[in-house]
Every structure is written in structure tokens, then in C-alpha cells.
Amino acid sequence: MDLGVSRLLQLRPPRGRSGAWLLALGIGLVLAVEPMWPDRTAVGVAGAIGLTFLAATRWQLRWLPVAVLVTSAISLRWSTYGRISSDVTDVTKAAITTALQGRNPYGMGYFVSNPPGAPFPYGPVDIAWYAPFVGNPIVLEVLVAVGLTLYFGWRAANGRPVGLAIFALAPPLVLTSVDGSNDISAGLFILLALAVAGRRPVAGAALLAVAVAFKPYAIAWLPPLVAWAGVPAVIAFAGMSVVAWSPVLFDWGVNSYATSLAMAQQTHLRQSYWSLGAILDGIVPDFVARSLETLRYVASGLVAILGGLRVRSIDGVIAAGTVAFLIAQFGGYFGSYVYLGAIAPILCWRIDDWLRAGLPEVARAYSAAFPDQQRPAWRRTRRPTPVLERGRALVPTRPSHGPVARPAQAGHLEAPRTTRFTRNPVV
């Protein structure tokens, strides 16, 4: 009996404040207070996060907030499952059925869309991705969202909790994972490509080609990645693109896919929504607002190219591509909140490190998290993941317990700085 009590006492977390978790749970509590959720889910989620926030002011927590946020994320998605507001799933099912019948899924409109006649404008990887779930592609989208939440939960337990709080609870991301769109899966492909590119730019460029063949708007990250990684990334992207687009290139035809893209562009001109055009609609003549649908691609391309010329790290690639993506998706006549699902995984993956590097007061909060916790022996020998600048380590993405050495320049070594954190330039 005494042994059992002793073990329970050992499970009690050490006294102190969980600095990083206070920041993350505070953000999560703001995001959780949302009137669109069912009453019992909204009250339960907000109450659980609030109690965990109070506990974080007294104890140094690690896994308890992860469990609360992951459970909250699943609860919110379960409570909103079935609120289908996008016809992407219906069109995707029709396109998969058409392809399985041996016919060309491109170059025509599908009457299952709302309004009828929308084409299938996505790449062949989209068809292969959802084919095992042709009965209900939303199930796969929910599984991807839950899987990403668990991944961010593991990162949160190891010192990066803000990304988990945002991805788990942000209302647009909750709705995007269950409303019939395909942008959470697109975000997964983009995350994999850019995460790999941080260490192996050529492999990352090949994975980005797969992401573009899933949903073409992922090409926003290609110019800055090529500017940072050089010609080998171009070769890898081109080679993988031939493989990923082979059904279109060698069977269905490029012209039929171009027809689908043109038809999709026409559907965007039916009504302004979630875009700069929606702001200008009613203020300026209608043709001015509609002209944004073409101008946005020119502006996006210029930002991607010019921004790519200034990048010095994979963070610069992420930032330049994200800005170009936002202009392309929200700077025209039609946009949608679901597009946020494409950039959320990559931003949530890096946001904790950006906060730590850019805000000293936040860095102190992170350094106060988990000070007494011992990592397993196999993890103690691992070096921190570096942020790369053309293959050279700048600063570790996670603060170490000693001074951080600055990179060697001009053939000589510089003494380590006495401060624990250094700024990490984004571009």
C-alpha cells in the first residue's frame, strides 16, 4: 500500500509554472470560445482548457495539456462532422469513378457539384490519394487532421506547444477537415516537402512536385525553393513532375486538363467570396473587382520570384511561398477559408521556433518549460535540428542548455555568445 502511494506521489508533476504551456493554452482558450460549436462540446472544451491553464500556473506540465488539446481537437471535429459546405468531395468521387471506368476525368463538368457543372481541376495524385476512400473521402481528410494533431502533440510535449494549440482548435481548420474540402491533405503534402527540403533540398523539391500534382497551388513554394537550393532542385522537381503527371501527359491529355482549369476559373467569377474582391465588390465597378482574378497570379508570381532571391534559409522559403500563396488565393475575386488548411501544417510546424527566436520574453517562457525533466538516453545524444542556410547550420531550432555558438566565417572561429538564444532571420 505504501509503495503504491509512493508511486502516485512520484507521478505528480514538479511545482512551478509551465511558461510555454501558459502561452499555448491561453491561445487555445481564446480559439475554443466559439459559438458555432454545439453547446456541450463548446463548454466542455473551454472548461477543460481553462482548468489545464490554471494547473499550468502551479505545476510544470508536459503530457496533460497534450491530452486535453488532442481530445478537444477530436471532440470539435466529431461534433461538426457532417456539416458539408464544399462540393469538392462530390466532384472528387465522380472523377475517381470516371477514372476507374477507364474514361478521362478531365475536360468536362460534373452535375453533382453545387451549382452543377464544376470540373475536376486537381492533379492525378488527388485521384490516387482518395481512391481507397471513394465512398466517403471526408473520412480520409478527418484521419489526416487527427494524425497531424497527434504529431503536433508529440512536438508539444517536447517543447513546441503553440503549434498544437492553433492546429487543434482554430475554427477554420476544424471546419476544413470535415466540410468536404481537400486542403488539409494538401497541407500534409506541402509540410512533408518543405520539412524534408530543410535537410535535403533535392528530395524536398521532388516531394513538392507530388504536392503540386495533388493540388496545383502548392507551386507557390517552388520559386523560393529553387532560388535557395539551386539547379538540382529544378531537375528533381521536373523529373518527379513527369512521373506524377504521367496519366495526364500520356493518356488523358494536357488539353483536357487545361480545359478543366479554364472551367474552374469561370466558376470563380460567379460570386465574390473570402477575398480582396469581396471587399471591393460594391465599392468599385464590377469589372474592376473581377479583374483581380487574373492580376492575383501575376502579383503572386512576382512575390514568389523576388522573395526567393532574398531567402537565406528554409524559413525564408516557407515565408516567401506562404505570402505568394496568400496573394494567389485571397487576392482575387474568389477565395475560401479552406485554403488556410494548406498553410496551417507548415506554419504550426515552425511557429514555436519563430516565437522563441524573435521574441526574447517568449524565449524565457520556453526556457522555463520542463527544466527538471530528463530525456531518455537515446535522445540525449542527438544534436538539435539545425535551421539550414545552403547546408550550413545557423542556430538550433530548440534551445540547448548551454551557449549557442555562432557560425564560423572567413576561416576563423568566433567564441560562443553568453546568451542562450540568437535571432534567426526568416528572409
Could you report the per-residue pLDDT of 37-77, keeping only the tens digit for each? Answer: 888 899 999 999 999 999 988 888 889 999 999 999 999 99
Evaluate if residue 386 carries a pLDDT over 70.
no
| Cα gap 59→61, rounded to integer Å | 6
Evaluate if residue 406 carries a pLDDT over 60.
no
Alpha helices in 158-221 (DSSP H): 161-169, 171-176, 183-197, 201-214
Instruction: Provide the mean pLDDT of the chain.
Output: 84
Q: For residue 218, which of 321, 333, 336 has the smallest C-alpha distance?
A: 321
pLDDT of residue 128: 97
Longest dimension (CA), the chain: 80
Evaluate if residue 410 carries a pLDDT over 60.
no
Determine contact, residues 272/281, Cβ cutoff 8 Å: yes
Write the DSSP string, 47-79. Answer: HHHHHHHHHHTTB--SHHHHHHHHHHHHHHHHH
Evaluate if residue 265 carries a pLDDT over 70.
yes
Q: For residue 66, which of 173, 150, 10 has the smallest C-alpha distance?
A: 150
Q: Quick count: other Cβ atoms within 10 Å of Cβ 41? A: 17
The DSSP output letter for 275 is S
374 vs 13, which has greater pLDDT? 13
Mean pLDDT of 186-215: 97
pLDDT of residue 8: 37
Evaluate if residue 95 carries a pLDDT over 60.
yes
Beta pairing partners, 59: 15
Evaluate if residue 399 carries a pLDDT over 80.
no
- What does the pLDDT look like over 303-339, one tens digit per residue? 999 999 999 999 999 999 999 999 999 998 889 999 9
417 vs 246, which has greater pLDDT? 246
pLDDT of residue 378: 39
Evaluate if residue 397 carries a pLDDT over 60.
no
1 vs 233, which has greater pLDDT? 233
Evaluate if residue 147 carries a pLDDT over 60.
yes
Evaluate if residue 379 carries a pLDDT over 60.
no
pLDDT of residue 416: 42
Residues of the chain with pLDDT > 70: what percent?
80
| Cα gap 349→356, rounded to integer Å | 13
| Cα gap 368→353, rounded to integer Å | 15
pLDDT of residue 78: 93
Which is it for the CA torsion 31, 36, 40, 43, positive or negative?
positive
368 vs 363, which has greater pLDDT? 363
59 vs 232, which has greater pLDDT? 232
pLDDT of residue 13: 66
Determine contact, residues 389/316, Cβ cutoff 8 Å: no
Evaluate if residue 374 carries a pLDDT over 60.
no
Provide the CA 7 distance to its chain's centre, in angstroms.
40
pLDDT of residue 358: 77
| Cα gap 297→324, rounded to integer Å | 9
Half-sphere exposure of 371 (CA within 13 A, CB side): 12
- For the chain, what are the domain ranges? 14-82+144-176
pLDDT of residue 420: 42
| Cα gap 162→197, rounded to integer Å | 23
192 vs 374, which has greater pLDDT? 192
Question: Worst-scoring range by mean pLDDT, 135-149, 232-246, 361-375?
Answer: 361-375
**In the block, which residue shows the cell 550550413?**
392
Task: Assign 393 to helix, strand or coil.
Answer: strand
Alpha helices in 198-269 (DSSP H): 201-214, 222-229, 231-244, 246-247, 254-267
Q: Which residues of 233-244 are buried (b: 16+ CB within 10 A; e: fewer)?
A: beebbeebbeeb
This prediction's pTM: 0.82
Peptide bond into 376 cis (omega under 30): no
| Cα gap 419→402, rounded to integer Å | 9
